[in-house]
Chain A
Amino acid sequence: MSGQMNSILCSVATRGRYFTTLPLVLNAIINQTRQPDKLIVFDDNDNPQDMRKEMIYSYFFQMLDIKGIPWEWRFADKKGQHHIHQKANTEGYDFVWRVDDDAIPEPEVLDNLFYWIAFEDNVGAVGGSVLTPPYMPDTSQVTGLIDKINQEPNIQWGVIKKAKEVEHLHCTFLYRAMVHDYNLGLSRVAHREETLFTYGLHQKGYKILAVPHATTWHMKNPQGGIRMESNAALYEHDERIFNNILACRDKTIVVLNCGRGDHIVFKHILPEIKNAMVFSCYQDIIPGNTIADAMNYFGDIDQWNIYKKMDQWKWKDSLDSAFRKMYL
């Protein structure tokens, strides 16, 4: 937990890349022109090692100490990178810069991303180019709209020459923490997790920006990686959830997985919610779809857990106001 204003956590999720691209990523983070307030490496390896014993890493850890960047090497629980990102999201920092373990940022990336998000409260996430040579599509005409996701390349795959508002980002970006949750209902491959996450920020009214002068080199490594999984069924599962969420994009999803009295309180707010699609426990109070439907449809319904949200928000006001904050 940071007590500073505009604090930035840099989060790296890693698996199977101790001795390939991860050292390059850490070196690039250490040498940013703007330092993060903390670095956490989430180690998702099946057999995690004590990297302090490795010469290069011992140098990295000393460099971090000398530069005054607090760091932590945390062993993750191997449930997939969306779980790791959600942990980072709720660490108590204002912003999280998520960096893949094969994506090497140029030195000024964090500084430039921060410039776009720090001074405007309505920017939810900002990302730069993520280049994977030799594939370098011209993305100057890319819309970045979610509707076009299957028809156009991602705007970050090409050189971004001017800032553009989009609806989703991928791979690596800086985002405003604790505004939106990662979908923990995705499988361990977490296919589409960053698209769903950034699109969720967009749906909450935040701007999502693709900006110039913030290039990361994506040294796609066929070995290792946080999505080191070839089971097609897992990708299909996640794609189904992704498509279900997109199918509801014009609706306000309401999931009332809470007590009977809470339903009564919520009933007074429901008329104010535009185009609500309701999933509830007590159909005699608020008719709609069931909670089982919601779990089947969206995978994870924790992002609508009003009690969890009130806890996260350190809530002191009424339950009615908490529902209003969540849905209006």
Chain B
Amino acid sequence: MIIIAPYAQKLRTGKLNPKNYPYWKELIAMIDEPIIQVGVEGEEQLVNDFRKNLSMNELCALLKECRTWISCDSFLQHLGWDQGKKGIVLWGPSDPLIFGHPENINLLKDRSYLVKNQFLWWEATEHQNERFVEPHIVLEYLKE
């Protein structure tokens, strides 16, 4: 079983968070093992098993059970690292050298896609699909 955390925190403006990975549906279609989606109420459901608003204890228990996890740059990449469970982080505009953990698999398409100022509100950054790696690349790492 793998866990996915597809979405970064919702922006107050209602704009799409630029850290959200754009190819989840394609990626999910390529994965042939059980997937549990974690997130919060209001996020789009991408798989049958969507567990919302889990407590810290519930998330930690799920991490213990899973083979691995996939996440954008959001809470799960930190919790996975904290719990000693290696996973895949799909980076776009934010810098894995600042916000990531080397213990995870950090997939960044190219550093040229990083936003110049990493410390502004994400509302100031437009979402761009081309910032992210293609799903088949993620799949290669998932099989490792």
Let me know if B82 and A267 touch, CB within 8 A. Answer: yes
Q: Does B75 contact A (CB under 8 A)?
A: yes
Please judge, given known A-B contacts A259-B9, A284-B56, whether A311 and B119 are in contact too, CB under 8 Å: yes
A11 nearest CB across to chain B (Å): 26
* Residues of chain A within 8 A of B74, CB atoms compared: 261
With a CB–CB cut-off of 8 A, which chain A residues contact B112? none
Question: Could you tell me if A310 and B118 are in contact, using CB atoms closer than 8 angstroms?
Answer: yes
Q: Are A319 and B99 in contact (CB under 8 A)?
A: yes
Contact (Cβ within 8 A) A316 B117: no
Question: Chain A: which residue is nearest B9 at the CB level?
Answer: A259
A310 contacts across to B, CB distance below 8 A: 98, 118-119
A264 CB-CB contact with B under 8 Å:
yes
As a 0/1 sequence over residues 55 to 80 of chain B, the CB contacts with chain A under 8 angstroms (1 = contact) are 11000000000000000001101110
Give A308 to B117 CA distance when docked, in angstroms.
Answer: 11
B29: Cβ under 8 A from any A Cβ = no
A285 to B97 CA separation, bound complex (whole angstroms): 23
Is A260 positioned at the interface, with any CB of B under 8 Å from its CB? yes
* One of A284, A315, A317, A318 near B119 (C-beta < 8 A): A315
Q: A264-B82, A310-B119 are in contact. Are A259 and B75 (CB under 8 A)?
A: yes
Nearest CB to that of B119 among chain A residues?
Answer: A311
The chain B residue sitting closest to A305, CB to CB, is B119
Q: Are B99 and A264 in contact (CB under 8 A)?
A: no
In the complex, the chain A residue whose C-beta lies closest to that of B83 is A264
If A285-B56, A316-B97 touch, whether A264 touches B119 (CB-CB below 8 Å) is no
Please provide the chain A residues from 118 to 148 with a CB less than 8 Å away from any CB of chain B in the complex.
Answer: none
Decide yes or no: A261 and B75 within 8 Å by CB, A285-B56, A310-B118 being known contacts.
Answer: yes
Q: Whole-angstrom distance between the alpha carbons of A317 and B22 in the complex?
A: 27
**Given known A-B contacts A285-B56, A315-B98, A318-B98, A261 and B119 have beta carbons under 8 A apart:** no
B81 to chain A: closest residue by CB: A264
Q: Are A318 and B97 in contact (CB under 8 A)?
A: yes
Residue A307 interfacial (CB < 8 Å): yes
Which residues 80-104 of B sit at the A interface, judged by CB distance below 8 A?
A: 81-82, 97-100
- Check A328 for interface membership: any CB of B closer than 8 A: no
Residue of B nearest to A315 (CB): B98
Give A2 to B78 CA distance when docked, in angstroms.
38
CA distance A310 to B100 in the complex (A): 15
A306 to chain B, nearest CB (A): 9
Contacts of B55 in A (CB 8 A): 284
The listed residue (B79, B98, B120) touching A317 by CB distance below 8 A is B98
Chain A positions within 8 Å of B79 at CB level: 261, 264
Question: Contact between A307 and B78 (Cβ–Cβ < 8 Å)?
Answer: no
For the complex, give the distance between the alpha carbons of A262 and B97 in Å.
Answer: 14
A260 touching B75, Cβ below 8 Å: yes
Chain A neighbourhood of B75, CB < 8 A:
259-261, 264
- Are the CB atoms of B117 and A311 closer together than 8 Å? yes
A-B contact pairs, 8 of them (CB 8 A): A261-B78, A264-B81, A264-B82, A267-B82, A268-B82, A285-B56, A311-B117, A317-B98
A residues apposed to B, CB below 8 Å: 259-262, 264-265, 267-268, 284-285, 307-308, 310-311, 315-319
What would 20 more interface pairs be, CB under 8 Å, given A261-B99, A264-B81, A310-B118? A259-B9, A260-B78, A261-B74, A261-B75, A261-B77, A261-B79, A264-B75, A264-B78, A265-B78, A267-B82, A284-B55, A284-B56, A307-B119, A310-B119, A311-B117, A315-B98, A316-B98, A317-B97, A318-B100, A319-B99
3 tightest A-B CB contacts, nearest first: A261-B78, A264-B78, A311-B119
